[in-house]
């Protein structure tokens, strides 16, 4: 069975890279691999400063999706990223690892690859889990983003730490 590289891992990679931006091509390569991007896709290509810049541009576009004020704007922004970074889907078995879908040409630079993964992963995440399943942390003073992968679809915080901090703040406010 071939796992879908365009799913949750791609959205979590976007969250990871906007929360702690990669500052060097090497760091971008490492972070992609840590996030589940097939290391052949990254290591077989030399990650360059141009790739890092391309990813920064894609992440700026992705943050507009996170911050969209209504569903239609969010959908329009996702569709714009899909139009910019993806191509028609195709089945491939390029490495003998089983038939699977690609939404990009085979040999693209890492920056374009990451932008394709993020845009397609985001579209699949929002279509499959719910259009509101991206956001900013609800804790005062925290501006981090989250991708809601919860069963209930009610995530409001970027981490358990922020959720706990806000719960303590609310408890203390009620106790005073």
Burial of 40 (0-12, 13-18, 19+ CB in 10 A): exposed
Tokens of 90: 């195709």
Q: What is the pLDDT of residues 113-149, one digit of tens each?
A: 999 999 999 999 999 999 999 999 999 999 999 999 9
Residue 77 falls within a domain, yes or no? Answer: yes
Residue 98 falls within a domain, yes or no? Answer: yes
Residue 1 falls within a domain, yes or no? Answer: no
Angstrom distance (rounded) from CA 85 to CA 114:
9
Q: Give mean pLDDT, residues 151-167.
A: 95
- Position 3 scores a pLDDT of 43
Residue 168 falls within a domain, yes or no? Answer: yes
Residue 59 falls within a domain, yes or no? Answer: yes
Residue 142 falls within a domain, yes or no? Answer: yes
* Tally of domains within the chain: 1
Beta-carbon contacts of 104 under 8 Å, excluding residues fewer than 6 positions away, are 85, 86, 87, 112, 113, 116
Question: Where is pLDDT greater, at 49 or 93?
Answer: 49
pTM: 0.89
Q: Give mean pLDDT, residues 26-50.
A: 83
Residue 2 falls within a domain, yes or no? Answer: no
Boundaries of domain holding 145: 8-175
- Position 40 scores a pLDDT of 66
CATH number at residue 129: 1.10.3300.10
Q: How confident is the model at residue 162 (pLDDT cuts 50, 70, 90)?
A: very high
Residue 3 falls within a domain, yes or no? Answer: no
End-to-end C-alpha distance for the chain, whole angstroms: 56
Lowest average pLDDT, out of 71-75, 97-101, 143-147, 170-174, goes to: 97-101
- Position 1 scores a pLDDT of 33
């Amino acid at each position: 069975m071939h796992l879908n590289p365009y799913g949750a891992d791609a959205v979590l990679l976007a969250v990871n890279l906007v929360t702690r931006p990669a500052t060097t091509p090497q760091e971008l390569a490492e972070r992609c691999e840590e996030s589940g991007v097939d290391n052949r896709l990254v290591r077989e290509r030399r990650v360059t400063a141009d790739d890092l810049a391309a990813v920064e541009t894609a992440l700026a576009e992705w943050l507009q999706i996170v911050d969209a004020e209504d569903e239609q704007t969010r959908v329009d922004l996702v569709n714009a990223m899909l139009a910019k970074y993806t191509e028609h889907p195709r089945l491939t078995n390029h490495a003998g690892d089983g038939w699977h879908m690609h939404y990009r040409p085979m040999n693209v630079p890492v920056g374009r690859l990451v932008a394709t993964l993020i845009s397609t992963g985001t579209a699949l995440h929002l279509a499959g889990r719910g259009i509101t399943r991206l956001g900013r942390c609800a804790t005062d003073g925290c501006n981090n983003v989250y991708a809601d992968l919860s069963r209930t679809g009610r995530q409001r915080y970027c981490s358990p730490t922020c959720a706990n901090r806000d719960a303590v703040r609310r408890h203390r406010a009620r106790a005073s």
